[in-house]
Amino acid sequence: VCTDQIVDSISERKDPDALLIRGSFVCPDDSRIAYQIRLIPASPARLLIEVQAFEKSNRTFLFPASSADEGFFGFGEQFTYFNMKGRRLPIIVQEQGIGRGAEPITTGANITAGAGGDWHTSYAGIPHYITSKMHSLLLMNYEYSVFDMREDDYTVIEVASPRLAGEVYYGKNPKELVSAVTEYTGRMKALPDWIHKGAIIGMQGGTEKVRTKLKELEDNNVPVAAFWLQDWVGQRKTNFGKQLWWNWELDKDRYPGWDEMVSDLSKKDIRVMTYINPFIADIASLKDNVRRNLFEEAKAHGYLIKTKEGEPYLIQNTDFHAGLLDLTNPEAVIWMKQIIKDEMLAVGSSGWMADFGEALPFDAVLYSGESPTTYHNHYPEAWAKLNREILAETERPDLVFFTRSGYTRSPEFTTLMWLGDQLVSWDKYDGIKTAVTGLLSSGLSGFSINHSDIGGYTTINNPIKDYHRSKELFLRWTELAAFNAVFRTHEGNRPEENHQFDTDAETLQHFGRFARIYAALFDYRKGLFKEAEANGWPVVRSLFFEYPEDPNTYNIDWQEFMLGSEILVAPVLSEGETTKEVYFPKGKWVHIFTSKQYEAGEQGLRETVDAPIGQPAVFVRAENTALPEALQEAITGKPKKTTPEK
């Protein structure tokens, strides 16, 4: 490590505001490595910084000054902690793992499959932060990086490259800083109206099951935007639970009368959504009704990533293997886009989950010759870009796809993010609490429209401890999701062992009520989507984002959030609790379920609020008059009373 430095020259470039610094690092053996630093304004709020070493270097370090009381926020989707001061955070796109530190599940997952994860593992970690002192930086590098915030008075930023490129941002508050960073990352576009007019029902099972579920929903007056039919390609059983045949064509035996079903739903203004990922499995010998063997097509044309021996690189997923699409091959990209058009859009899909994107191995061989260690973090951006291009090529701006993996430029390409596979539990490492923390952190890094699976996904059968979705967990997650960007269910990987939206009459009634509350916020949410598109601001916001001058907001992880600037949500996310300690920032707040008022002064206010199931702690600014009367009707089940005119 060569830490001593000599500055040889500091000069202005053509732009009088730009600087070029030249010098050298002095190593312990007295050898020297020449370097240069360029500082170039990119906009009034953005300063480009580039550090380049010129020989035998494989790491670059920056040491920004800090202070003991400075909070560090952002870093893309971070699921366990909102404030990262005092922590060392690696940034690499990866499977988040099962448990992520929660026990005994993490140890069990590591013993059985090496799949446990840690508190910092994330599908969409981003090398970007905003601090409580309004300092902000983004790395443009795709190489592995580490942010070490354990020292009081400085931070260490490490990049596995001889070149470090990034931007430093100027802004007086988080809103200005998020707008500045999303000038570079791109901004997510407002969602089309159809996808947030009601619930998106995630289910599997075939045509008749869809019709049965629809009847249940209609009988209970549940607004439905879409049925998300993950198993449109058919379903297989694995050691993990129920998974799919990764051969992207409609299974006409599982969904007989598909076209008629799609047409009938369309007449009710309900869309159909499907599923795809960049893996392709060879299932010709396993599935009886295969019409098109996509694996053989991809293999024959060289569309899959390869091993060093030139063979398709087969990656294990639970108890089967699959090839991964090589997105550096332009022909492979065209081929996959045509599959989506021919096999998904042609059968009436209005949207899909574009799953995975984080699995490129570091020892793969790519068509372009690029290093997989650099392309690894770029892969999820390229996957989202492939899907985004379909909207333009088909002139279908109403299509929506949602992704779980991402990197710095993903906001430009994806239409909707989701937080991946949470455990069906209450814990803060991989359960319901992470469905809030992940939203709050990612919203500061450009993922402005994001959501989670209602109820979580990962269900585990284990002799030591089972993780099955309970009724209480589903009810509380439903309440939480009603005040998010999208209201979407998932059965989980073991549907029969999870409580579902229609497991009993009480749950179905509860689900319908909060789906109506979600629908009643439609116009308010549309305004937030417009802010996301125009400014990059998140729909679901940390209290820090709205109240950065209040240090009480710096360490709120999952306990509270804002929906836009007008609604404060303090969800109950712990088992058995029926009260909630709420921190109110400065202002007057009205409980939307009880109409009780709370007034907080300059120092804020902490109050314990009753929050039984069905009456979450949700508040609106007292002076707000823009929220719809339909919200009150959805809450009470009765039309809002009006005073007759005199």
Distances (CA, A) of 62 to 46, 54, 89, 444, 644: 18, 17, 15, 22, 67
215: left (phi over 0), alpha (psi -120 to 50) or beta: alpha
Q: CA-to-CA distance for 202 and 492, rounded, in angstroms?
A: 9
Token pair listed for 348: 């009436």
355 is an active site residue? yes
In this structure, are residues 313 and 324 in contact, taking their beta carbons and an 8 Å threshold? Answer: yes
> What is the CA 269 to chain-centroid distance, rounded?
27
Known catalytic residue at 421:
yes
Other CB atoms within 10 Å distance of the CB of residue 387: 22
Yes or no: say if 109 and 115 are a contact pair by the CB < 8 Å rule: yes
Given the residues 70, 95, 282, 358, select the one marked as catalytic: 358
**Measured distance CA(106)–CA(116) in Å, rounded:** 4
Q: What distance in Å separates the CA atoms of residue 160 and residue 330, rounded to the nearest whole number?
A: 28
Question: What are 594's two structure tokens?
Answer: 């009880």
Written as six digits, the tokens of 284 are 């010709």
- Residue 113 near residue 95, CB atoms below 8 Å: no
Query: Which residue out of 95, 326, 355, 453 is catalytically annotated?
Result: 355
Catalytic, 363? Answer no
Instruction: Compute how many other C-beta atoms are within 10 angstroms of the C-beta atom of residue 307.
Output: 13
DSSP-assigned states of every residue in 461-489: --SS--B---HHHHHHHHHHHTTSS--BB
Stretch (H or E) spanning 302: none
Residue 448 one-letter amino acid: S
CA distances from 638 to 128, 394, 565, 630 (A): 46, 43, 27, 9
Q: Which residue has the tokens 């360490």?
A: 555
Asked if 126 and 65 count as a contact pair (C-beta separation under 8 A), the reply is no
| DSSP β-ladder status, 605-610 and 597-600 | unpaired
Write phi, then psi, for 579 (nearest 5 degrees).
-130, 165
Strand partners, 316: 321
User: What gap in Å lies between CA 181 and CA 170, rounded to an integer?
Assistant: 10
- CA angle (122 as vertex; 473, 377 as ends), nearest 5: 150
Amino acid at residue number 323: G
Q: Report d(CA 296, CA 283) in Å as an integer.
A: 10
| Dist. CA 232–CA 247, nearest whole Å | 11
Strand partners for 236 = 243
Cα–Cα dist 114/109, whole Å: 6
Pairing of strands 349-354, 271-276: parallel
Burial class of residue 566 in the structure, from the number of CB atoms within 10 Å of its CB (0-12 exposed, 13-18 middle, 19+ buried): middle
Catalytic residue selected from 77, 95, 421, 550: 421
Burial of residue 529 (number of CB atoms within 10 Å: 0-12, 13-18, 19+): buried
Residue 62 main-chain phi, psi, to 5 deg: -120, 145
Catalytic residue numbers read 355, 358, 421
